Amino acid sequence: MSPSPRSFGAADRRLLPEGRLAGPMPWVIAIMMFLTVLAAAAGLGLGGAAASLGAGLGNRVTVQILEPNPDRREAEAARAVERLRRMPEVESVRRLSPDEMADLLEPWLGSGGVEADLPIPAMIDAQLITGASADTLRSPLAAAAPSARVDDNGQWLAPLGRLIAALKWLALGLVALMIGATAATVVLAARAALDTHRATIEVLHLMGATDVQVARLFQRRIALDALFGGFVGFGAAALALLVIGERIGALGSDLLGSANLPATSWLALALLPILGVGLAMLVARATILRALGRML
């Protein structure tokens, strides 16, 4: 007995009628892929924002020297900077210049500059190493600069960080749900295709076609539908993301800007239609083989 062939060779394309794009399946997959790409982009963008928040802002502390006397303030600021530089938890230290202070205060005090006799605190920006706590700075700083006040950026950014993380997981959950819904759509489409072509399949079976041979016919059709739907959905989503990205860029917000997608994220998104085709083929194959297994 000859070994079972795995396909019908060049005749594969003819054995099932090619009603390409005639049914709703490619368009349903396109919609699914559009939503999946948007959800995945939201997840990746929020992940980027959360990382940026943690690395850029969450590990930073601001030290204010509140001493009203300008000479003593200057001396305390210099000691505080010196003390911070010697601490292992501190990665970098930078004192804000008078010009930077003036820029910060301009919205409140106008563009005329800061009056010389106005007691403006000296401000020191310190970047901590990952995992370091602002609390470890307080005691050494109090000894060097009694009027120093340590503001932990991470403390007030924590609720925002938790919100962003929650939104990120929600987005990734949506991606998982969309993948499940796409798989369910493929199952329904494969079953419908089986019912439509049942007579042909029975004839092929009675001539000795194997389940794998028959399944390959459907896999091919469904893969083509998924390919079309996947790339249409991806294209539409990419367009939407580019428009949204441009609007975000126009806002000039550092936090929103950090949610923009880097090239690696775009690459990950571009893989989604390809993964979609693979998923569709696998699900179709499993569905068809399962259904054929119930026939003699």
Partner 1 sequence: MRVEAGLSNGTNIVKFDNVGLRYGTGAETLSDLSFSLRHGGFYFLTGPSGAGKTSLLKLLYLAQRPSRGLIKLFDEDIVTMPRKRLPGFRRRIGVVFQDFRLVHHLSAFDNVALPLRVAGVDEKDLQGPVSEMLAWVGLGHRASARPATLSGGEQQRVAIARAVIARPELLVADEPTGNVDPEMAKRLLHLFDSLNKLGTTVVVATHDLHLISSIGRSEMLRLDRGQLLDPTGALRHPPRRADA
Burial 214-244 (b: 16+ CB within 10 A, else e): bbbbbbbbbbbbbbbbbbbbbebbbeebeeb
Q: Which is nearer to partner 1, 84 or 204 (CB)?
A: 204
Cα–Cα nearest to 32, from 272, 171, 233, 280: 233
Q: Would you put residue 21 in left (φ > 0), alpha (ψ -120 to 50) or beta? A: left
**Could you say whether residue 5 binds partner 1 (CB under 8 A)?**
yes
> Considering only residues 118, 207, 250, 263, which one is a binding residue for partner 1 as defined by CB under 8 A?
207
**Could you say whether residue 22 binds partner 1 (CB under 8 A)?**
no
Residues 6+ apart with CB under 8 A from 181: 32
Contact 127, 133 (CB under 8 A): no
> Considering only residues 2, 111, 130, 139, which one is a binding residue for partner 1 as defined by CB under 8 A?
2
> Considering only residues 84, 178, 209, 232, which one is a binding residue for partner 1 as defined by CB under 8 A?
209
**Could you say whether residue 213 binds partner 1 (CB under 8 A)?**
yes
Window of 73-81, 134-142, 170-178, 204-212 that interacts with partner 1 by CB under 8 A: 204-212
> Considering only residues 22, 116, 250, 296, which one is a binding residue for partner 1 as defined by CB under 8 A?
296
> Considering only residues 202, 239, 251, 267, which one is a binding residue for partner 1 as defined by CB under 8 A?
202
Number of residues binding to partner 1, judged by CB under 8 A: 26
Quote the least distance from Cβ 4 to partner 1, whole Å: 6
User: H or E stretch including 180?
Assistant: helix 153-196
Residues in the chain: 296
SS3 assignment, position 125 = strand
Window of 67-75, 110-118, 196-204, 243-251 that interacts with partner 1 by CB under 8 A: 196-204
Which phi and psi (to 5°) does residue 147 adopt? Answer: -95, 10
Window of 88-96, 98-106, 137-145, 207-215 that interacts with partner 1 by CB under 8 A: 207-215
> Considering only residues 52, 196, 210, 260, which one is a binding residue for partner 1 as defined by CB under 8 A?
210
CA–CA distance, 76 with 135 (Å, rounded to integer):
19
Site for partner 1, rule CB under 8 A: 1-2, 4-5, 8-11, 14-15, 17, 199-200, 202-211, 213, 293, 296
